[in-house]
Amino acid sequence: MCIAIYKPENKEIPRETLETCFEHNPDGAGYMYAEDKKLHVRKGFFEMDKFWNSYKRNKDKQAVIHFRIKTHGKITKSNCHPFNIHNGLAFVHNGIITGYGNDVTSDTKEFGRKMLQPLVAKWGNLALFQDPMINLLENRIGYSKLIFLDRHGNAKIFNEDKGNWKDKCWFSNKSYEPRVITTTPNPIWNYAKNNNSYYTTPRQTQMIANKVGHNLEAGDYVELLADFKDDALNKVFPKGTIAEVVAINMNFSADLMDEENGFMYNVPYSYIEYVDEFEDDSIPQPLDWSKPPYEV
């Protein structure tokens, strides 16, 4: 998932908000700011206190902040954001860029090295920020988001409309908000014969919330646990596909977006698992939710 944040000068983000970002995206934090015509990049924080002790000295400055949850590459300082294109320009990323990354190197790091650095080396910084190139890069990264910052304090958000502004700061998704586990509605039900109704217990709710990822919301990433056929598109999406959640539906399903295969609609929760979040052997395998009553 990750979260990328743009914060203007003299606008403070509460520590509690940043702690929530760190809790939901715990695989390394970093930030950058421009001062005295120099770009300062600080990254590789794997403890909130260490991040805060560095960041609080610069919290009133214009800044770009990133909290990582890995999808490609090891959990290391070198795979943390921001990534320098050169000493005067760097960027952060939220999402997955298909075709880049492996078990060692993050997709973002490789995308910067193979795509952005050669482009800027040949044509200069401004090559990135011309309308045709913006359109090209936004189409290439799909639902991902990028934030660039140079040594003069010039910032640019790619796919800005896919994030949201709150209190004059821009967030690439809503993982800055505390996640709330609710008891209803929920796709695990038991049948109560005395009143011919269905209900769910808090324990069952917690189990399914953990399984699919803390009550899914737009911006989360999930993996398909089985082949999924979208009848409306007459298309099969293969098991193992990692896709971004773009909408949550009332029928206990989600709409997903995968760069290689496109959109898939009404994917049942039983088909998906939250990426890199919970690994609990006590949680049961996907259930058959084709008809009630559903029991665990």
**Which fold, 3-171?**
Glutamine Phosphoribosylpyrophosphate, subunit 1, domain 1 (3.60.20)
Cis bond leading into 8, ω under 30°?
no
Determine the length of the chain: 296
Specify whether the CB–CB gap between 182 and 205 falls below 8 A.
yes
Specify whether the CB–CB gap between 95 and 2 falls below 8 A.
yes
Rounded to whole angstroms, the Cα distance separating 55 from 12 reads 11
Kindly tell me the burial class for residue 222, based on how many C-beta atoms sit within 10 Å of its own C-beta (0-12, 13-18, 19 or more): buried
Structure tokens belonging to residue 180: 């709330």
Please write the tens of the pLDDT for every residue from 276-287: 543 443 333 444
Domain boundaries, the chain: 3-171, 190-274
Please write the tens of the pLDDT for every residue from 64-121: 999 998 888 999 999 999 999 999 999 999 988 888 999 899 999 999 999 999 999 9
Rounded to whole angstroms, the Cα distance separating 7 from 60 reads 9
Rounded to whole angstroms, the Cα distance separating 119 from 123 reads 6
Looking at beta carbons, which pairs linking 187-194 to residues 24 or more positions away fall under 8 Å?
187/252, 187/268, 187/269, 187/270, 187/289, 187/294, 188/287, 188/294, 188/295, 188/296, 189/292, 189/293, 189/294, 189/295, 190/293, 190/294, 190/295, 191/292, 191/293, 191/295
Please write the tens of the pLDDT for every residue from 160-217: 998 999 999 999 988 898 765 443 333 443 434 444 433 344 444 444 444 444 466 7
Structure tokens belonging to residue 186: 């929920």
Rounded to whole angstroms, the Cα distance separating 77 from 94 reads 17
Please write the tens of the pLDDT for every residue from 1-28: 689 999 999 999 999 999 999 998 999 9
Buried/exposed 78-105: b ≥16 CB within 10 Å, e otherwise: ebbbbbebeebbbbbbbbbbbebbeeeb
| CA diameter of the chain | 74
Q: What is the pTM of this model?
A: 0.68
pLDDT at 288 over 70: no
**Which fold, 190-274?**
SH3 type barrels. (2.30.30)
Q: Which residue has the tokens 């959990």?
A: 75
What pLDDT is attached to residue 268?
86
232 vs 228, residue with greater confidence: 228
